[in-house]
């Protein structure tokens, strides 16, 4: 019987150990779980169902009309996915996207300057508050940006584009540094 493929994080190795400066940090986040939920369920009701299904440390991110991403650092347990799918039956559909998307954290006082070089989303805290999310483009890549703190952001990208996004962010960081930000 052939060996099963071994899962390896896409942003692994010395090249992706993160980037830390005086005012900017970039890091590959754990490849935990990412669920795509589609349906006529509001976030408070979805949050209650997540707790019942054991997703207590997961966050809900708006991904479009009646669409949410449920993201967390812990690997997905099939029992939890089954419980959530059963609880949402008739209200919403759940699709596991954990294997197909990667999250990158960008933080620090220069994080908005860095991200402004690649996207047109207004990241000012008065417009894009903590917990806000937007599906947008960073350069030529489709990305979901989520504000997770005052100067903290999380970018979610399709797995096959993760290395390209990482390289694009490093390039933008070098440009931001030249501009005196990072």
pLDDT, one tens digit per residue, over 77-125 is: 889 899 999 999 999 999 999 999 999 999 999 999 999 999 999 999 9
Task: Kindly report the pTM of this predicted structure.
Answer: 0.88
Q: Which residues of 53-67 are buried (b: 16+ CB within 10 A; e: fewer)?
A: bebeebbbbbbeeee
- Distance separating alpha carbons of residues 59 and 78, to the nearest angstrom: 18
- Distance separating alpha carbons of residues 14 and 32, to the nearest angstrom: 20
The tokens for 117 are 């070089």
Q: Which domains does the chain have, with CATH numbers?
A: 14-30+100-178 (3.30.1360.120), 33-96 (3.30.70)
The answer to whether 136 and 122 have CB atoms below 8 angstroms apart is: no
pLDDT, one tens digit per residue, over 3-47 is: 766 667 788 776 777 777 888 999 999 989 999 999 999 999 999
């Amino acid at each position: 019987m052939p060996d099963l493929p071994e899962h390896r994080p896409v942003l692994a190795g010395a090249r992706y150990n993160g980037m830390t400066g005086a005012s900017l940090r970039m890091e590959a986040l754990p490849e935990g779980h990412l669920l795509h939920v589609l349906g006529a369920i509001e976030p408070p009701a979805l949050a209650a169902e997540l707790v019942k299904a054991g997703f207590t440390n997961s966050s809900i991110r708006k991904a479009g009309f009646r669409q949410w991403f449920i993201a967390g650092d812990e690997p997905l347990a099939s029992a939890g996915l089954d419980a959530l799918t059963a609880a949402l039956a008739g209200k919403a559909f759940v699709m596991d996207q954990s294997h197909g998307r990667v999250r990158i954290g960008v933080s620090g006082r220069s994080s908005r300057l860095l991200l402004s070089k690649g996207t047109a989303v207004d990241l000012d805290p008065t417009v894009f508050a903590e917990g806000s999310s937007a599906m947008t483009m960073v350069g030529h890549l489709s990305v979901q940006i989520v504000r997770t703190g005052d100067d903290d952001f999380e970018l979610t990208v399709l797995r096959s584009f993760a290395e390209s996004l990482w390289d694009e962010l490093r390039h933008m960081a070098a440009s931001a540094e030249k501009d005196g930000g990072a």
